[in-house]
């Protein structure tokens, strides 16, 4: 009898330790065959995406390199920035021999291209055609101060200022002017993976805390929005009127995927969709962009793809 009781208790404890069932949300169709990747182009882990004023889509990828630590010292030899037309034609490629572990790409109102590199510990500004104009941070040196980063992840723009989600090692948003002069920092995050701005607030994907943090423009916390099920939000983009588009790359049980959320201004979830590939851990939704034409884009790191879809 004693052995039976012990067995029952052990089974009960095992059941308690089981992960909850994976959330099932409707599949959302992506545009098949988009974009067109030329046969001679090396296309790898797709990390980030943004859209310029003309509707061209900039994609940051790792051209055959995979995220493995410790990071290598040598830059990726192949072009890591691709620019596609809205129709999916490759218009330009650049960034060869520059980046060690490129992570985030953002385009400002002047069509300048900002890129973060977690391997080099730096943030770059380029012209639209890829001419390097500015570097912030000391190469290979990780600190949390006015002139260094700790694996900077993403960039957004607050008027004339630049916000850096800093990042995998550091725990802050660092703010600079357009010439790289430090202004201030704030926040306390467990991987500030993405930052976004609309006409009223600053949004931070506080990834490992499983929440979206919402701030006023002066850096004061307004709302802490916990992700459903403790899921990990990787990227966020404003849709206007306080609404947000978000992608979750992992759920609360650490299973990879690509779940899209549309949040209402009050934080309620309007719709949820799955844009991941079939199979266990086949996709990890990493970054988002939304074009003026209503098309949305999500990067998929293990899937090695950029998925385009229409927002319902």
Q: Cβ distance 94 to 103 under 8 Å?
A: no
Q: If we measure between CA atoms, which residue out of 240, 282, 283, 286 comes closest to residue 263?
A: 240
pTM: 0.94
Report d(CA 94, CA 75) in Å as an integer.
13
Report d(CA 198, CA 261) in Å as an integer.
17
Report d(CA 67, CA 140) in Å as an integer.
16
Q: Cβ distance 113 to 57 under 8 Å?
A: no
Q: Could you tell me the end-to-end alpha-carbon distance of the chain, in angstroms, rounded to an integer? A: 59
pLDDT given at position 14 = 45
pLDDT given at position 226 = 96
Query: What phi and psi, each to the nearest 5 degrees, are found at residue 15?
Result: -65, -40
pLDDT given at position 13 = 45
pLDDT given at position 11 = 47
pLDDT given at position 17 = 64
pLDDT given at position 249 = 98
Report d(CA 54, CA 51) in Å as an integer.
8
CA 233 to chain centre: 9
Angle of CA points 308, 160, 99, to nearest 5°: 55
What's 88-149 look like in SS3?
CCEEEEECCCCCCCEEEEEECCCCCEEEEECCCCEEEEECCCCCEEEEECCCCCECCCCCCE
Q: Per residue in 36-54, pLDDT tens?
A: 999 999 999 999 999 999 9
Q: What is the sign, positive or negative, of the torsion defined by CA atoms of 77, 56, 177, 174?
A: negative
Angle of CA points 152, 288, 286, to nearest 5°: 60
Q: Per residue in 115-155, pLDDT tens?
A: 999 999 999 999 999 999 999 999 999 999 999 999 999 99
pLDDT given at position 19 = 81
Question: Quick count: other Cβ atoms within 10 Å of Cβ 118?
Answer: 24
Report d(CA 199, CA 135) in Å as an integer.
28
Q: Cβ distance 160 to 177 under 8 Å?
A: yes
For 256, residues 6+ apart whose C-beta sits below 8 A from its C-beta are 249, 250, 276, 281, 282, 283, 284, 302
Low-confidence ranges of the chain (pLDDT < 50): 1, 3-15
pLDDT given at position 71 = 97
pLDDT given at position 224 = 96
């Amino acid at each position: 009898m004693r052995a039976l009781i012990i067995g029952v208790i052990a089974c009960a404890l095992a059941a308690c330790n089981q992960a909850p069932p994976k959330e099932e949300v409707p599949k959302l169709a992506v545009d098949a065959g988009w974009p067109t990747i030329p046969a001679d182009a090396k296309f790898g882990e797709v990390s980030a995406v943004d859209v310029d004023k003309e509707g061209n889509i900039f994609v940051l990828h790792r051209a055959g390199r995979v995220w493995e630590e410790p990071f290598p010292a040598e830059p990726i030899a192949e072009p890591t920035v691709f620019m596609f037309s809205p129709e999916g034609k490759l218009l330009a490629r650049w960034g060869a021999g520059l980046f060690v572990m490129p992570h985030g790409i953002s385009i400002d109102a002047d069509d300048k291209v900002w890129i973060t590199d977690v391997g080099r510990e730096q943030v770059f500004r380029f012209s639209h055609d890829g001419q390097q104009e500015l570097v912030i941070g000391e190469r290979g040196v990780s600190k949390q101060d006015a002139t260094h980063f700790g694996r900077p992840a993403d960039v957004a723009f607050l008027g004339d200022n630049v916000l850096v989600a800093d990042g995998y090692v550091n725990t802050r948003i660092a703010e600079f002017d357009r010439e790289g002069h430090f202004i201030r920092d704030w926040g306390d995050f467990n991987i500030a993976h993405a930052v976004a701005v609309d006409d009223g607030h600053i949004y931070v994907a506080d990834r490992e805390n499983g929440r979206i943090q919402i701030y006023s423009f002066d850096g004061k916390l307004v709302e802490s929005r916990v992700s459903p099920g403790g899921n990990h939000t990787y990227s966020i983009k404003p849709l206007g009127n306080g609404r947000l588009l978000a992608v979750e790359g992992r759920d609360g049980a650490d299973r990879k995927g690509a779940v899209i959320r549309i949040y209402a201004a009050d934080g309620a979830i309007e719709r949820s969709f799955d844009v991941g590939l079939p199979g266990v851990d086949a996709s990890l939704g990493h970054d988002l962009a939304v074009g003026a034409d209503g098309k949305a884009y999500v990067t998929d790191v293990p899937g090695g793809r950029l998925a385009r879809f229409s927002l319902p």
